Amino acid sequence: MADIIEKTVSDLRLEKRFAERLEHPERVIEFTFPLKRDDGATIFLMGWRSQYNSALGPYKGGIRYHPAVNRDEVILLSKLMTFKNSLAGIPYGGSKGGIAFNPKEFSRAELERISRQYVRELYRFIGPDVDIPAPDVNTTAEMMAWMVDEYNILTGKKEYATFTGKPVEFNGLKGRDEATGRGAYFVMLEAFARHKIPKSAKIAIQGFGNVGMNLARILYENGYMVVAVSDSKGGIYCKDGINVSKVMALKSEGKGVQDYATNENANVKLITNEGLIESECDVLVPAALDNQIRKDNAAKVKAKYIFEAANNPTTAEADAILNERGVVVYPDILVNCGGVSGSYIEWVQNREGRIYTYEQVVKELEGVMKRAFSLVASEKDKDNKISYREAAYRASIRRLAAAMQYQF
Q: Hey, is 33 helix, strand or coil?
A: strand
- Closest CA relative to residue 2, chosen from 20, 15, 17, 28: 20
Report pLDDT for 407: 84
Using one digit for the tens of pLDDT, what is the confidence trace for 364-399? 999 999 999 999 999 999 999 999 999 999 999 999
Report pLDDT for 187: 98
For 25-172, give the CATH class: alpha beta
Q: Which of 33-37, 219-223, 310-314 comes out lowest in average pLDDT?
A: 310-314
Mean pLDDT of the chain: 96
- Closest CA relative to residue 111, chosen from 54, 177, 63: 63
In whole angstroms, what is the distance from residue 230 CA to residue 235 CA? Answer: 4
Using one digit for the tens of pLDDT, what is the confidence trace for 243-286? 999 999 999 999 999 999 876 677 899 999 999 999 999 999 99
The two domains 25-172 and 179-335 share their CATH topology (first three levels equal): yes
Catalytic residues: 96
Domain segments of the chain: what residues? 25-172, 179-335
406 band by pLDDT with thresholds 50, 70 and 90? confident
Task: Select the CATH number that applies to the domain covering 179-335 from these four: 3.30.56.10, 3.40.50.720, 3.40.1390.10, 3.40.50.1100.
Answer: 3.40.50.720
The stretch 229-253 carries a mean pLDDT of 95
Q: What is the DSSP string of 35-63?
A: EE-TTS-EEEEEEEEEEEE-TTSSEEEEE
Where b means 16+ CB within 10 Å and e means fewer, 15-42 reads eeebbebbeebbebbeeebebeeeeeee
Report pLDDT for 52: 98
Query: What is the distance, to the nearest Å, from the Cα of residue 346 to the centroid of all Cα atoms in its chain?
Result: 17
In the β-sheet with 225-231, what is the strand arrangement from edge to edge? 269-271, 234-237, 225-231, 202-206, 283-286, 305-307, 328-330
Whether the pLDDT of residue 10 is over 70: the answer is yes
Residues in CB range of 287: below 8 A, 6 or more apart: 181, 184, 205, 206, 207, 209, 211, 212, 215, 309, 310
Report pLDDT for 88: 97
> Above pLDDT 90, what percent of the chain?
92
Residues in CB range of 124: below 8 A, 6 or more apart: none
The stretch 149-167 carries a mean pLDDT of 97
Residues in CB range of 406: below 8 A, 6 or more apart: none
Using one digit for the tens of pLDDT, what is the confidence trace for 293-309? 999 999 999 999 999 99
**Counting Cβ atoms within 10 Å, is residue 366 exposed (0-12), middle (13-18) or buried (19+)?**
middle
Residues in CB range of 171: below 8 A, 6 or more apart: 148, 160, 349, 350
Report pLDDT for 323: 96
DSSP state of 260: G
The Cα-based distances of 364 to 89, 162, 199, 237, 285 in angstroms read: 13, 21, 25, 34, 24
